[in-house]
Amino acid sequence: MASPFGAQAPQGGLNIVVMDPAHGGTDPGARGTGGIRESEIVLDFAIQVRRALELQGFQVVETRQGNENPSFDDRSATANAQRGAVFVSLHISSTGLPGTVRVYVNSDLPPLADSNGLIPWDRAQAPFLGLSRTFGDLVQGLLVQRFKGSPETAQTASVRQLRTTAAPAIAVEISSVTVEDRADLDRMAPGVADAIARGAAAFKPAYVVPNSPGALP
Amino acid sequence: MTPRWKFWLIGGLVTAVLAAAIYFPILRRRVKRAARLQQQSEEQARRELTQPIVVNPGDPRVKTKLFWASDTIDSTLVPVTVELPLSNDPVLRSKQVLNTLLAGPVDAELRTLPPDALLLAFYLLPDGTAIADFSEALATSIPSGIVSEQLAMNSITRTLEANVPQVRRLKILIHGQEVETLAGHLDLTGTFVVNTGSPQSPAADKTPAPAPGPLTPEKAPGKLAQPERKP
């Protein structure tokens, strides 16, 4: 039950953003009638988000950089191996008001019950829910300023990817693949990237990083 | 080979190619039609096996709240009250309300579940845990995305909550199998709380939710347990 991870992270607080472009490989995710594929667009968004985060001084680790589809657990493992990281999963929806963006944090999970003091993998997000909510609200607050019609605070949903992630974790879902012209989505990328980067920077002072990867906050 | 034989051979080959070119599209149409008929008969068989619950005329007509999508606020649910004859038996009653929910509202734009999805089975355990088994169409025909998948699940849990108080938790199966997600996002590995008004995460139970997390370390750091890998 010991931690299988040995990755070293820089010292001194939140430094790393693990970015997760959803889907990939044989899983295209949401598909628009015009041939738009979620798995491809999130990769393009990820490039801009990465650039914006690096400008804010963050190191960016990606769960995938090409057209592959790591499992949910593999993506979480990438995040859980880091110390001083937050996790951002990028999605494009099939529905919703085009031009809006929603931030999700995981639904409530039962308190930790492992008598050994270990965080159960399948509930790794549980001790981070409060931090995820703070991080999510910061990012959503910045997004609503740019994308009218978006919610003002982060939403709650049972997102599978977030449940096994032992770090402050959010999913950002952009609406939607139903746009007639892909350029409509491309135009949103700089605003989304800037909101995520500025949200992470605003969250940084609030997050006291645990001593080891996968530790309780 | 004499020129005459060459002539007949080439002529025969050309005729065969022309005949194939004419016949091939006809053959393709026949194969497609046969495949369509087979698909229809499978669908027909499925529908016959899962015919809507027979309405008992003796069942009292009660005001039933069904949760479909709002036509004014994006990606939210609104209750629609209809009068339905509902059984007092919680399993039959659950099937009745879920089948009505699956049938969809008058305005098809406001449906939350795919029109071809079927409720295959519904069970209720003594502890209030319900198991709803849906056809594959629930997972394959639903628009992929967090917002649409969560809306679908909320419409199911809130409809059950409003009409069948005996259902405390809900487990979703797809064609008799446990699946990891509904359509790539929503977690279906655990149960959803039904009777609190706001559906909770899978694995969430009646245990009170943890308070908002502190922003400073709490106790001695813990370690992550090994993930369980599925084959």
Residues in chain B, how many? 231
Residue B22 has, within 13 A of its CA and on its CB side, a CA count of 5
The Cα–Cα gap between B105 and A57 comes to 51
Q: Which residue has the higher pLDDT, B87 or B225?
A: B87
Quote the percentage of chain B above a pLDDT of 70.
74
pTM over 0.80: no
Q: Which of A5-14, B40-49, B87-96, B216-225 has the lowest mean pLDDT?
A: B216-225
Does the beta carbon of A20 lie under 8 angstroms from any beta carbon of chain B? no
Interface of A with B in 156-195 (CB under 8 A): 157-161, 163-164, 166, 171, 173, 175-176
Give the mean pLDDT of A65-76.
96
- Residue B54: predicted pLDDT: 57
Q: Which of B110, B146, B171 to mutate to test the interface with A (most CBs of A within 10 A)?
A: B146
Neighbours of A76 (CB within 10 A): 29
Query: Chain-wide mean pLDDT for chain A?
Result: 89
Contact residues for A142 (Cβ-Cβ < 8 A; gap 6+): A194, A195, A198, A199
Q: How confident is the model at residue B2 (pLDDT cuts 50, 70, 90)?
A: confident
Mind listing the pLDDT tens digit for each residue in B31-76? 776 665 555 555 455 555 555 555 677 788 999 999 999 998 888 9
* CB pair distance less than 8 Å for B222 and A163: no
Q: Is the dihedral of CA A49, A51, A56, A59 positive or negative?
A: positive
- Residue B4: predicted pLDDT: 84
Give the mean pLDDT of B194-213.
44
State how far the alpha carbon of B204 is from the alpha carbons of A53, A92, A95, A127, B63, in Å.
34, 27, 27, 14, 30
Tokens of A209: 């990083």
The Cα–Cα gap between B144 and B2 comes to 67
* CB pair distance less than 8 Å for A114 and B225: yes
Give the mean pLDDT of A139-164.
97
Tokens of A54: 């690096």
Q: Which of A97, A107, A163 to mutate to test the interface with B (most CBs of B within 10 A)?
A: A107
- Tell whether the model's pLDDT for residue B206 goes beyond 60: no
State how far the alpha carbon of B222 is from the alpha carbons of A117, A131, B106, B218, in Å.
6, 17, 53, 11
Domain ranges of chain B: 61-193
First to last CA, chain A: 19
Report the b/e string of A117-155 with b at 16+ CB within 10 A: ebbbbbbbbbbbbbbbbbbbbbbbbbbbeebeebbeebb
Domains of chain A, first to last: 16-206 (3.40.630.40)
State how far the alpha carbon of A16 is from the alpha carbons of A28, A165, A167, B150, in Å.
27, 14, 11, 29
CB-CB contact of B146 with B183 (8 Å) = no
The Cα–Cα gap between A164 and A17 comes to 16
The Cα–Cα gap between A35 and A182 comes to 9
- Residue A113: predicted pLDDT: 59
Residues of A in contact with B145 (CB under 8 A): 30, 91-96, 173, 176
Residues of B in contact with A80 (CB under 8 A): 224
CA distance to partner chain A, nearest, from residue B167 (Å): 20
Which of B212, B218, B225 is facing A121, going by the closest CB pair?
B225
Tokens of A57: 């001084």
Contact residues for B230 (Cβ-Cβ < 8 A; gap 6+): none
Q: Which of A19-28, A176-185, B211-220 has the highest mean pLDDT?
A: A19-28
Q: How confident is the model at residue A37 (pLDDT cuts 50, 70, 90)?
A: very high
Contact residues for B43 (Cβ-Cβ < 8 A; gap 6+): B116
- Tell whether the model's pLDDT for residue A111 goes beyond 70: no
Nearest residue of B to residue A77, measured between CA atoms? B227
Alpha helices in chain B (DSSP H): 3-49, 90-103, 137-140, 146-163
CB-CB contact of B163 with B91 (8 Å) = no
Interface of A with B in 41-70 (CB under 8 A): none
Q: Which of A23, A95, A172 to mutate to test the interface with B (most CBs of B within 10 A)?
A: A95
Neighbours of B214 (CB within 10 A): 12
CB-CB contact of B167 with B207 (8 Å) = no
- Residue A8: predicted pLDDT: 42
